[in-house]
């Protein structure tokens, strides 16, 4: 069994107590439109990233994570961000249930594993029941990060009657409501960090087509250049796209009535810190976890 698989198998079961600084979780932009906040469909794109301890333990170290995410607006998809180019959580791991709906995996004890959502085909309504379960292990990282973990896409902003301008992602987990990130500290020791619980928010200004935090000539020009067109999205000046697919007079009125307004689109680049670093767990504890616990081995699918 490789060290990576050994860590994937034993990391989640290790007991520890705080001592050093911990890995961090961040949520950043990952789209192609509107200052990289939206995709071509006009939906919010959230890239979840994890940074390991600094300096990297023993010069190179793998990570494993059990994290849940709840979205306030309709969940469109959740996918692995692995690239195969050194930014790679490529191993499907088992983990504890975070919510209640997770499906059992194929490993010991039928624990849920990999990436799962409670609406696999995409949620159709907004609400707190839009949820993502994730349990993945990584390659050995020689750099601190950030390392790409998963990508979550949620319904984009809409203005006007029935519109929803704000969207949030809440991080949670199975450890007193908090998520876990585990890290190999040496060839024989590892540690769990069970402190990941944060809310990341994005809020669009009505009329801010390019989502740069202000309603200005640039946004007015986007409305005018797409005026009369159908199949248009927020970044093309169709702000009330929940009621029509046109950039028209109603959208022009939105940008003019909010002209000059300013405001941040959110804290999507904020960090969720793991707090203190637990003491390295002994090889004996890991061995006990493997023998008496779940006997779980991460494997590439």
How many domains does the chain fold into? Answer: 2
Q: pLDDT tens digits, residue range 118-165? A: 987 778 777 777 999 999 999 999 888 899 999 999 999 999 888 899
Rounded to two decimals, the pTM is: 0.84
Residue 212 counted as domain residue:
no
Is 252 inside any structural domain? yes
SS3 label, residue 174: coil
| Same structural domain, 222 and 198 | no
Please determine, for residue 8, whether its predicted confidence score (pLDDT) is greater than 80.
no
Q: What is the pLDDT of residue 199?
A: 93
276 in any annotated domain: yes
Q: Is 298 within the bounds of a domain?
A: no
Cα distance between residue 147 and residue 139, in whole Å:
10
Residues 229 and 115 in one domain: no
Domain of 231 in residue numbering reads as 217-257
Regarding whether 226 and 110 lie in a shared domain, the answer is: no
| DSSP state letter for 103 | P
pLDDT digits (tens, 9 = 90+) for 260-289: 999 989 765 456 665 544 444 433 333 333
Asked whether residue 271 falls in the same domain as residue 249, the answer is no
The first and second tokens of residue 125, run together, are: 């309504």
| Residues 190 and 121 occupy one common structural domain | yes
Q: Is residue 299 part of a domain?
A: no
Domain assignment of residue 209, yes or no:
no
Q: Which ranges in the chain belong to alpha helices (H)?
A: 3-10, 217-225, 249-257, 283-292
> If DSSP codes are grouped into helix, strand and coil, which group holds residue 95?
coil
Residues 137 and 251 in one domain: no
pLDDT tops 80 at residue 54: yes
What the block records as the tokens of 79 is 């996918």
- Using alpha carbons, select from 11, 275, 271 the residue that is nearest to residue 136: 11
- What is the pLDDT of the chain when averaged over all its residues? 82
Q: Are residues 164 and 237 in the same domain?
A: no
């Amino acid at each position: 069994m490789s060290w990576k698989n050994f860590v994937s198998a034993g990391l989640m079961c290790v007991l520890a107590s705080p001592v050093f600084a911990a890995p961090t979780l961040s949520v950043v932009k990952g789209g192609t439109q509107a200052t990289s906040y939206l995709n071509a469909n006009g939906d919010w794109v959230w890239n979840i990233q994890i940074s390991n301890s600094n300096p990297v333990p023993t010069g190179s170290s793998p990570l494993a994570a059990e994290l849940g995410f709840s979205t306030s607006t309709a969940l469109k998809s959740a996918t692995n961000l692995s690239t195969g180019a050194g930014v790679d959580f490529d191993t499907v791991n088992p983990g504890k249930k975070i919510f209640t709906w997770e499906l059992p995996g194929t490993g010991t004890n039928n624990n849920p594993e990999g990436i799962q959502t409670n609406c696999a085909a995409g949620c159709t309504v907004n609400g707190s029941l839009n949820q993502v379960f994730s349990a993945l292990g990584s390659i050995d990282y020689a750099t601190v990060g950030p390392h790409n973990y998963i990508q979550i896409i949620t319904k984009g902003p809409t203005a006007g009657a029935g519109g929803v301008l704000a969207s949030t992602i809440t991080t949670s987990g199975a450890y007193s409501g908090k998520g876990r990130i585990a890290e190999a500290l040496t060839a024989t020791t590892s540690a769990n960090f069970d402190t990941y619980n944060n809310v990341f928010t994005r809020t669009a200004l009505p009329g801010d087509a390019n989502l740069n935090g202000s309603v200005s000539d640039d946004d007015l020009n986007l409305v005018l250049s797409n005026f009369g067109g159908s199949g248009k999205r927020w970044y093309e000046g169709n702000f009330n796209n929940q009621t029509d697919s046109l950039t028209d007079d109603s959208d022009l009125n939105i940008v003019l009535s909010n002209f000059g307004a300013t405001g941040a689109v959110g804290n999507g680049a904020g960090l969720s810190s793991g707090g203190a670093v637990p003491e390295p767990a002994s090889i004996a504890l890991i061995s006990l976890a493997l023998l008496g616990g779940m006997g779980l081995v991460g494997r590439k699918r």
